[in-house]
Amino acid sequence: METVIIILAGVLVTVATYLILSKGILRVILGTAILSHAAHLLLMTMGGLKRGGVPVIGEGNGTYTDALPQALILTSIVISFAVTAFLLVLAYRTYQETQVARGLKDE
């Protein structure tokens, strides 16, 4: 399972990189969003997948999946959300001021 998820994350990283390298500013932001998805998946996988019950005491039969990566991902999701929101507003404002929605200097 881990291998499959890692390959999925790799595909997402490739897609994200490609999007970040493109001209449209919205595509760049989409790329960063996808990159954070890949990072979250990687964090999850590195902790090992499905080795027990939900990490809530009393549930399952006494073994739990690793809770630490979950806490880390939760923190990360919130932070990447804040950054994405800010970037989106920034793109929106930049377009309003300059009428340019590209990440390139010329053209």
Residues 44 to 103 in contact with other proteins, rule: CB under 8 A: 44-58, 64-68, 70-71, 73-75, 77-79, 81-86, 88-93, 95-97, 99, 101-103
CB of residue 54 to other proteins, shortest distance in Å: 5
For CA atoms 87, 88, 89, 95, the dihedral sign is positive
CB of residue 15 to other proteins, shortest distance in Å: 5
Tell me: does residue 30 bind other proteins (CB under 8 A): yes
CA 56 – CA 67 distance, rounded (Å): 9
Asked if residue 75 lies in contact with residue 94, where contact means CB atoms within 8 angstroms, the answer is: no
Q: How would you class 88 by CB atoms within 10 Å of its CB: exposed for 0-12, middle for 13-18, buried for 19 or more? A: middle
Total binding residues toward other proteins, as defined by CB under 8 A:
86
The β-bridge partners of 91 are none
Tell me: does residue 14 bind other proteins (CB under 8 A): yes
CB of residue 25 to other proteins, shortest distance in Å: 8
